[in-house]
Structure 1
């Protein structure tokens, strides 16, 4: 055995991840529609911003997740919605007419 010490992170916690948030990513992208497709090995979530009176919209961001991460995301969203509603009241889900989405065939991996 050598006398060298194993490096530790500043707080001495094992398994801690250092995550950077780029300035342009930190500004975020607005989305009022999410389109979700899945295959056996992945979930694909396309975030779209549809504006009234605009005949065409583009996908602003696409996130690809493993099924396990998709399930964790769904659980985390559900937990956060419950906490939000406890603090601010129920989020109303307004009825909207179905939107025809013709983005081509569903995705496959």
Structure 2
């Protein structure tokens, strides 16, 4: 993707259930390759430390993706991370969202 972000990018927002409640994960793709280049997350409820952590994490993931990191790397690093509440964490939800978008890569992005 170019160094300058286009005005608009195609993307999908998935609503996923996590241990902390509903998480909305938006995955935006580069229109020329249909590969993810940006991720945004929002909890169903606003505020809190979890929201801040997810915001920081997705900013860093977006930096990696826009620099050419393979989306499969994101999935492999975040998949199956659990917490004191068990599996079904926010990190795993982000991996699921990226995996779902990559699986549709052959379709129109």
Whether TM-score is above 0.5 comes out as no
**Could you say which structure has the higher strand fraction?**
2
Higher relative contact order (CA 8 A, sep 6+): 2
Structure with higher helix content: 2
Structure of higher CA gyration radius: 1
